[in-house]
Amino acid sequence: MRSVFILIFTVLLLTSCSYKHDTLYVSSKKTTEQGVANTKKTQIMQNGNAKIFVTVTYLNSLKVTKDIDKTKEQFVVGFHFVNFDSKSVEQKLGPKDIKFEIENQSHLLKVKKLKINSTLLKIIPASNPWSQYFLVQTPKIDKNVIKFSLKLKDYPKISLNFEKDY
């Protein structure tokens, strides 16, 4: 009788935990899929060689409501250097080394360098501790397609278009 009770208790415990685990997995999988769909990547080239890989994620199209301010247009921009040196990665780029533009305007932007443990980096796909990330914000834009541009000091300007999800 005692072994039957333990068996029933164990089965109930395992089924209740697996349901919660599955719910969390499905929720995080949807967020990852949305993040991939709203992320664009490009390379910054010099003399025909890739020097920096850039990823830009448009946060407003993600269905996550926590950690994202929907009253502004927000982008997370990641820079991954091809010749990575872990000792100097924190000093490689600062907000003044990059000129960001949204809809050909830069004066309304707020740029913040993100730390590796930022909660926003858990939302976006493929973030890693070897890259540098910046949060770029601007007031709401009433267009269906947003033009996002960036320019590093010695490299050509890069422009990407993001469609809003209505």
E strands of 49-124, at which residues?
49-58, 72-81, 98-102, 110-114
* Cβ-contact 64, 76 below 8 angstroms: no
Question: What is the rounded distance in angstroms from the CA atom of residue 94 to the CA atom of residue 75?
Answer: 16
| pLDDT at residue 83, rounded to an integer | 73
| pLDDT at residue 27, rounded to an integer | 46
| pLDDT at residue 33, rounded to an integer | 67
Residue 139: enclosing H or E segment and its boundaries? strand 132-139
| Cβ neighbours of 164 (radius 10 Å) | 15
| pLDDT at residue 32, rounded to an integer | 62
In the block, tokens 């994620």 appear at 57
Ranges in the chain, pLDDT < 50 = 19-27, 88-90
Domains and CATH numbers, the chain: 38-163 (2.60.40)
Determine phi and psi for 143, rounding to 5 degrees: -130, 155
| pLDDT at residue 16, rounded to an integer | 66
Radius of gyration of the chain (CA): 21
| pLDDT at residue 149, rounded to an integer | 95
Question: What is the rounded distance in angstroms from the CA atom of residue 28 to the CA atom of residue 45?
Answer: 34
| pLDDT at residue 85, rounded to an integer | 56
By the 10 Å C-beta count (0-12 exposed, 13-18 middle, 19+ buried), 66 is classed as exposed
Q: Is 10 helix (H, G, I), strand (E, B) or coil?
A: helix
Question: What is the rounded distance in angstroms from the CA atom of residue 131 to the CA atom of residue 78?
Answer: 6
Nearest Cα to Cα of residue 56 among 155, 156, 131, 144:
131
| pLDDT at residue 101, rounded to an integer | 93
The two structure tokens encoding residue 138: 């601007």
